[in-house]
Amino acid sequence: MTNNGNEKTIYDVIIIGGGPAGLCAAMYSGRGMLNALLIERGLTGGELLNTELIEDYPGFESILGRELAEKMTDHAKIFGANIVTDTVESIEKDDDGEFDVRTQLGKTYHAPAVILTAGGSPNKLGIPGEAEYAGRGVSYCAVCDGAFFKGDTIAVVGGGDAALEEATYLTRYAEKVYLIHRRAAFRGSALLQERAFNHPKIEVIRNKVVDVIEGGPSGTTGIKLTDTVSGETSDLAVTGVFIFVGFTPNSGLIKGHFDHDASGYVVTDWNMMTSIQGLFAAGDLRVQLTRQITTAVGDATTAAIAVEKYLAERKEVKAAVGSA
């Protein structure tokens, strides 16, 4: 089974990405007695490692992101998860109908099924203070972090559906929400615009870009803005900055045509199978309503169990063909 160089290493299923979805898929695959390999480019845990406190994962009223990451990793290992550290560069279907997964370290792993759980990343503004205050006022997830801003004045940056929807959502917690867009016209749907623009707690700021996020030892304290029309600069005192300027799913690893939406999110059927037979997707990179830890592990559970059934059916078909 194990080999080096150009030889292939063969598994029942290869899981790409060791975030909540990947770790959950590895746990279920182990329980299903599959010979599974999980490939993670960094430390296991995915976005959990960028999250200070999690307060919405059932069973844990409050848990540190890195602690939950450790628990999920240990749990997967108890059921025999085989985890390697490497970066996947491509997933390609072979002539034999199975998959070659090629990595940065020059390995090729082979399996009849692959579960892609490589997540994605929220697009960044790329401005001073953004990285420094990430998790200390700067956030890319309203559902995850909104409750930390009860009674505060905060800013939401963006002009699409996500910015409009999340600005409205954040009014549950914040006393005031500045909705800042670099253009005059918002891209989001008319209904979401109407809801946000008519909300008494939301003040819309058009034609302004955020240049700097400022703060101190206790976190974010304000932002500096420039008017894109007049060039005038201004300051706003805020304790939170929620940035919704897009999300890039890591779906580019798939070579060949697959169904996806306009932003590159992977479309699956209800078994988490993509339009490529044998290739499953789970978690943040999948087209869906919301992206949470609970949805990632839910997807992964379905995907791992669907893989078991898929492999069993393949075996039956092969046996039937062989005895014909």
Which one-letter amino acid corresponds to residue 306?
Answer: A
Task: Return the axis-axis angle of helices 190-197 and 161-170, rounded to nearest 10°.
Answer: 30
Give the residue numbers annotated as catalytic, written as ranges: 141, 144-145
* Smallest distance from ligand FAD to CB 313, Å: 26
* Smallest distance from ligand FAD to CB 125, Å: 15
Closest CA to 148 of 159, 158, 135, 161: 135
Stretch that binds ligand FAD, among 4-12, 19-27, 93-101, 256-264 (CB under 6 A): 19-27
Closest CA to 16 of 96, 101, 75, 78: 101
When binding is defined by CB under 6 A, the residue of 13, 14, 15, 21 that contacts ligand FAD is 21
Stretch that binds ligand FAD, among 139-147, 195-203, 266-274, 316-324 (CB under 6 A): 139-147
Binding mask 98-127 for ligand FAD (x = CB under 6 A): -------------------xxx--x-----
CA 7, 10, 11: angle at the middle one, nearest 5?
155
When binding is defined by CB under 6 A, the residue of 13, 18, 72, 81 that contacts ligand FAD is 18
- What is the 3-state secondary structure of 190-230? HHHHHHHHCCCCEEEECCEEEEEEEEECCEEEEEEEEECCC
B/e letters for 150-166, b = 16+ CB within 10 Å, e = fewer, are: eebbbbbbbbbbbbbbb
Name the residue nearer to ligand FAD (CB basis): 140 or 265. Answer: 140
Which one-letter amino acid corresponds to residue 304?
Answer: A
When binding is defined by CB under 6 A, the residue of 36, 39, 154, 213 that contacts ligand FAD is 39
When binding is defined by CB under 6 A, the residue of 137, 188, 240, 283 that contacts ligand FAD is 283
Question: Token pair for residue 66?
Answer: 């890195």
Q: Which of residues 69-88 bind ligand FAD (CB under 6 A)?
A: 87-88
Question: Token pair for residue 226?
Answer: 């420039």
Stretch that binds ligand FAD, among 156-164, 238-246, 255-263, 284-292 (CB under 6 A): 284-292
Asked if residues 161 and 192 have their Cβ atoms less than 8 Å apart, the reply is yes
Please name the residue ranges forming H helices in 244-292.
none
Residue 275 burial (10 A CB sphere; 0-12, 13-18, 19+)? middle
When binding is defined by CB under 6 A, the residue of 14, 29, 30, 51 that contacts ligand FAD is 51
Stretch that binds ligand FAD, among 14-22, 27-35, 223-231, 307-315 (CB under 6 A): 14-22
Binding mask 164-203 for ligand FAD (x = CB under 6 A): ----------------------------------------
Q: Which residues bind ligand FAD (CB under 6 A)?
A: 16-22, 39-42, 46-48, 50-51, 54, 56, 87-88, 117-119, 122, 140-141, 144, 250, 253, 283-284, 291-294, 296
